[in-house]
Amino acid sequence: EIVLTQSPGTLSLSPGERATLSCRASQSVSSSYLAWYQQKPGQAPRLLIYAASTRATGIPDRFRGSGSGTDFTLTISRLEPEDFAVYYCQPYGSSRAFGQGTKVEIK
Amino acid sequence: EVQLVESGGGLVQPGGSLRLSCAASGFTFSSYAMSWVRQTPGKGLEWFSGISGGGSGTYYADSVKGRFTISRANSENTLYLQMDSLRAEDTAIYYCVKGSRGSYPYYFDSWGQGTLVTVSP
């Protein structure tokens, strides 16, 4: 099973700043089958990105996914107040284990 | 609009059983794989079971294999999870999740609001 390591565990930033979240896999993720999800307190997760870099329907373009193989990145270009949340990465090929999450909190 | 509504959660004693249901609407249910994902309070997400659109393929994580059974009734647009031999570590919020296509590989494009299962004496 692929093990995902997300870093940092917590990112403390101010609105308007750029957020860079990392997701590293223990083995290569086939065909870039990698998704990112956002979860706010008390809510279910929401799909942000699939196929490593394709934004889901309705996701603003300040969210950008990139990477391939074992290294993936989610970048939020300018943080809006509603972006402070926990973000999870997940491969969806042979393994479906989620990363442990990165919390983006207000500094 | 896709809607997934879970029901059946609650308090159960260790060793007991519980059956979760997920009523789906807003899409052609039989065309999409479905999964159950759980989240321990204050912790991360764990995918533990999935089923193909037609129902012929079922998949389980080792943590629940042999104890949980996923099934679906396509004529009723409903997903089920039968949970037996429940343990304290099964305490979690259980989410019903829609896959992006009928079979592997699929990402999770819609989530229910979740139902809480508590396993305690």
Q: B104 or B12, which is more confident?
A: B12
Percentage of chain B surpassing pLDDT 90? Answer: 94
Question: Which two tokens mark B101?
Answer: 């296509």
Cα nearest neighbour of A43 on chain B: B113
Average pLDDT of chain A to the nearest whole number: 95
What pLDDT does B12 receive? 98
d(CA B66, CA B96): 20
The count of residues in chain B is 121
Longest dimension (CA), chain B: 40
Q: Which of A47, A100, A101 sits opposite B109 (nearest CB)?
A: A47
Whether residue B35 contacts residue B104, with contact meaning beta carbons closer than 8 Å, is answered with no
Say what the pLDDT of residue A59 is.
98
Nearest to B47 among A33, A50, A98 (CB): A98
Model pLDDT for residues B66-101, shown as the tens digit of each residue: 999 999 999 999 999 999 999 999 999 999 999 999
Q: Does B108 touch chain A (CB under 8 A)?
A: yes
Which chain B residues have a beta carbon less than 8 Å from that of A37? 45, 108
Provide the pLDDT confidence category of residue A107 given band limits of 50, 70 and 90. Answer: very high
B114 CB neighbours in chain A (<8 A) are: 44
Cα separations (Å) of A28 from A9, A31, A69, A81, A105? 22, 9, 5, 34, 30
pLDDT of residue A35 exceeding 90: yes
Of B31 and B41, more confident: B31
pLDDT for A53 equals 97
Do A37 and B108 lie within an 8 Å CB cutoff?
A: yes
Distance, in Å, from the CA atom of A42 to the CA atom of B116, rounded to the nearest integer, reads 12
CB contact under 8 A, A44 and B104: no
